[in-house]
């Protein structure tokens, strides 16, 4: 069965961690608007310069910008057998636009998986997160520590801390999540697509809960 997925959840819930495992299992691409925006920031493009202001403040990049990015990305051929949207949609307006885009393509979402984690855990996860500059593998200094500090186990690349993973910025991101993104849970419950999965415990256990709701 085709899988057109949305992963919902607060910052640090494990969307990226789980998405990478789903990519392996189902051979469908991960579409992370956060990753796309960070690449644009690193490349210093106009989009990157514009987005950086919002990202550094822990706020959302304007809807029309991210909707445009996703609309183009979904047209690429690797999306024809399904995809994992990670971090999009994040507002009810984005969710409605996504519905329109998919309807026009003769397609639709198959599952929305909401990963639930308590706020205290989110702060610990985000302040300890490290990401590989080369292959974007994710680590945590306590929970998923690399064998050698600062070095990626998979490719030897340098591990870095995201600019928005400072405590103050994390607090803004959590606030923005509550105000603008959490209402999507009700929105998708209404469509009958919503599946909730507890996001605390081992990464592999969470992964099996997710694959269970997808099958
Ligand atoms: P984005 O990159 O999407 O960030 P986010 O939603 O804040 O989520 P994160 O990537 O921080 O968390 P995650 O759920 O992926 O967790 P992860 O797997 O890394 O967005 C960044 C910014 O871009 C936004 O603030 C906004 O400005 C902009 N943006 C992006 N999309 C947008 C949109 N649609 N509209 C407008 N603006 C947009 O895990 C976190 C850590 O926890 C890791 O260290 C990991 O190793 C660890 N971990 C994972 N699972 C577990 C576990 N089970 N137990 C212990 N540790 C764990
Ligand atoms: Mg992420
Ligand atoms: Zn790496």
Q: Render pLDDT for 7-42 as a digit per residue (tens, 0 to 9).
A: 999 999 999 999 999 999 999 999 999 999 999 999
Annotation says 104 is catalytic:
no
Cα separation, 174 vs 130, in Å, equals: 19
- Residue 111: inside a domain, yes or no? yes
pLDDT for 170-188, tens place per residue? 999 999 999 999 999 999 9
- Residue 62: inside a domain, yes or no? no
Confidence (pLDDT) at 114: 98
**C-alpha 87 to ligand 2 mean position (Å):** 7
pLDDT for 60-102, tens place per residue? 999 999 999 999 999 999 999 999 999 999 999 999 999 999 9
* Active-site residue, from 52, 90, 125, 130: 90
* Active-site residue, from 3, 20, 96, 162: 162
* Nearest ligand to residue 47 Cα: 1
pLDDT value at 124 more than 90: yes
Number of domains in the chain: 1
Count the neighbouring beta carbons within 10 Å of the beta carbon of residue 185: 16
Confidence (pLDDT) at 1: 86
Pocket of ligand 1 (CB under 6 A): 9, 11-17, 33-34, 37, 54-55, 58-61, 66, 87-88, 90, 94, 125-126, 128-129, 138-140, 143-144, 164, 173, 203, 206
Residue 188 tokens read as 């998708």
- Residue 73: inside a domain, yes or no? no
**Which one, of 195, 48, 174, 186, lies nearest residue 113 by Cα?**
195
Residue-number span of the structural domain to which 165 is assigned: 3-28+81-214
pLDDT value at 121 more than 90: yes
Give the ranges where 78-182 is alpha helix by DSSP (H).
92-104, 119-127, 167-176
Annotation says 90 is catalytic:
yes
- Residue 33: inside a domain, yes or no? no
**Which one, of 179, 203, 184, 197, lies nearest residue 95 by Cα?**
184
CATH number at residue 175: 3.40.50.300
Instruction: Give, for ligand 1, the residue of 125, 162, 176 to mutate: max count of ligand atoms closer than 8 Å to Cβ.
Output: 125
The stretch 140-165 carries a mean pLDDT of 97
- Residue 112: inside a domain, yes or no? yes
* Nearest ligand to residue 136 Cα: 3
CA quadruple 50, 140, 159, 79: dihedral positive or negative? negative
Give the ranges where 105-180 is alpha helix by DSSP (H).
119-127, 167-176
- Residue 123: inside a domain, yes or no? yes
Q: Whose CA is nearest to atom 12 of ligand 1?
A: 12
- Residue 60: inside a domain, yes or no? no
* Active-site residue, from 15, 20, 75, 204: 15
DSSP helix, strand, coil percent of the chain (3-state; round to 5): 50, 15, 35
**Which one, of 189, 213, 208, lies nearest residue 18 by Cα?**
208
- Residue 68: inside a domain, yes or no? no
Does this model's pTM top 0.75? My answer is yes
**Which one, of 52, 54, 88, lies nearest residue 70 by Cα?**
88
């Amino acid at each position: 069965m085709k899988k057109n997925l949305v992963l919902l959840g607060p910052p640090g819930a494990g969307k990226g961690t789980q998405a990478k495992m789903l990519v392996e299992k189902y051979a469908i691409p991960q579409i992370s608007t956060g990753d796309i925006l960070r690449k644009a920031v690193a490349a210093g493009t106009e989009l990157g310069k514009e987005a950086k202001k919002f990202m550094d403040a822990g706020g959302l990049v304007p809807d029309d910008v991210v909707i445009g990015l996703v609309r183009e990305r979904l047209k690429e051929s690797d999306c024809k057998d399904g995809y994992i949207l990670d971090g999009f949609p994040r507002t009810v307006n984005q969710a409605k636009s996504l519905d329109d885009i998919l309807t026009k393509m003769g397609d639709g979402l198959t599952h929305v998986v909401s990963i639930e984690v308590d706020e205290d855990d989110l702060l610990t996860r985000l302040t300890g997160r490290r990401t590989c500059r080369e292959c974007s593998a994710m680590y945590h200094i306590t929970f998923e520590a690399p064998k050698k500090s600062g070095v990626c186990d998979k490719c030897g690349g340098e591990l870095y801390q995201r600019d928005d993973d400072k405590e103050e910025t994390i607090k803004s991101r959590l606030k923005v999540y509550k105000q603008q993104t959490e209402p999507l849970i009700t929105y998708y419950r209404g469509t009958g697509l919503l599946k909730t999965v507890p996001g605390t415990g081992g990464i592999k256990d969470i992964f099996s809960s997710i694959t269970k709701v997808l099958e």
